[in-house]
Amino acid sequence: MTSQKKLTFQTPDVTVEELTNALYRSNLALDRTNKELLRLQKEQSDLFTNLTHDLRSPISAIRVAIEYMLSDSSLTLAEIRDSLGMLLTRTEFLEQLIHDILLLSTVESMGHPLHLECIDIGIFLEELFYNYREDSNYANRKLILEVPSNFPYQVMIDTKLLHRVFDNLFSNALKFSTSGASITLIASISESYVIITVKDTGIGISKEHLPHIFDRSFMVSDSRTPTATTGYGLGLSIVKAIVSRLGGTISCNSTLHVGSSFSLTLPVFMNTEKA
């Protein structure tokens, strides 16, 4: 028979107290993970609820308008045109909503590649600003550019997606302000990050709603127009998702009846002044 050596029991190098502490930390981490999963599930549920509402409303209006035109053969051309105009508005809203849902899904999918390129952020912001200034929609707003003439920093971005970020921020500044208000585009540098701010003197956002404006399920109208439902809350969620994919962050400071400032950071890819 083959002889077998007895294995010597090795005393663990950790104490009971250390094992207890490790188990405690593991339980805390598991609890945090469970709470985060519950939060995401609730956010997803709220998002679907809001989207269902926003999809149902225009579809119902479209159906009613079509039924109205089909049921009354005595409608005048002007009445038909009014109904068709409403149909066009509602379908445009649906088209934009569907586009936003797809864009948010695409941006949040890490498997979807970005079209990254290295750009001079100072030149990019100047061109962006002058495009907005030439836009007639901003004719009654005072647009201000505060980007240093010598801003020698380059960032690695998807320009199409970054345009979407600023389109949303500028359109919100326009939507939630009145004639004569100012919209300022600001750029600065902090260590290895470029800080870009869109500041307006609009109606602002209430303090209790401010922490939730980037949530996917948050209704924009809840924070700025409490008496009417005018938005579906995906715009700022898309902004946050894009900035996050580009390695940056976004935050908002706002005072009701004074204005809002949205600041995003982007990592500097190259400082051409030092290159």
Higher local confidence (pLDDT), 272 or 217: 272
| Predicted pLDDT of residue 191 | 86
Domain co-membership, 45 together with 121: no
Judge whether 127 lies within some domain: yes
Domain that holds residue 49: 18-108
Domain co-membership, 267 together with 155: yes
Judge whether 1 lies within some domain: no
Kindly write down the DSSP assignment for every residue of 168-215, as one continuous string: HHHHHHHHTS-TT-EEEEEEEEETTEEEEEEEE-SS---TTTGGGTTS
Domain co-membership, 145 together with 261: yes
Tell which of 80, 108, 136 closes a domain.
108
Instruction: Find the range with the poorest average confidence among 4-18, 86-100, 104-118.
Output: 4-18
Domain co-membership, 68 together with 167: no
CATH code (residue 237): 3.30.565.10
Judge whether 185 lies within some domain: yes
Domain co-membership, 58 together with 88: yes
Q: Quote the CA–CA distance of 217 and 234 in Å, as a whole number.
A: 8
Domain co-membership, 83 together with 148: no
pLDDT tens digit string along 170-218? Answer: 999 999 999 999 999 999 999 899 999 999 999 999 888 888 888 865 5
* Long-range pairs, 83-92, Cβ under 8 A, ≥24: 86/61, 87/62, 90/58, 90/59, 90/61, 90/62, 91/58, 91/62
pTM flag (> 0.75): no
Rounded mean pLDDT, 151-180:
94
Domain co-membership, 161 together with 211: yes
Judge whether 13 lies within some domain: no
Domain co-membership, 130 together with 25: no
Judge whether 101 lies within some domain: yes
Domain co-membership, 23 together with 84: yes
Structurally, the chain folds into a number of domains equal to 2
Distances (CA, A) of 240 to 25, 123, 134, 185, 275: 31, 23, 27, 18, 31
CATH code (residue 57): 1.10.287.130
Instruction: Find the range with the poorest average confidence among 42-46, 59-63, 152-156, 168-172.
Output: 42-46
Judge whether 7 lies within some domain: no
Instruction: Find the range with the poorest average confidence among 8-22, 78-92, 121-135, 201-215.
Output: 8-22
Judge whether 59 lies within some domain: yes
Confirm if 221 and 228 have CB atoms less than 8 A apart.
Answer: yes
From first CA to last CA, the distance across the chain in angstroms is 76
Domain co-membership, 94 together with 122: no
Confirm if 179 and 106 have CB atoms less than 8 A apart.
Answer: no
Tell which of 108, 138, 167 closes a domain.
108
Tell which of 67, 84, 108 closes a domain.
108
Domain co-membership, 127 together with 204: yes
Flag whether pLDDT at 246 surpasses 70.
Answer: yes
Structure tokens at 7: 């294995």
Q: Quote the CA–CA distance of 232 and 239 in Å, as a whole number.
A: 14
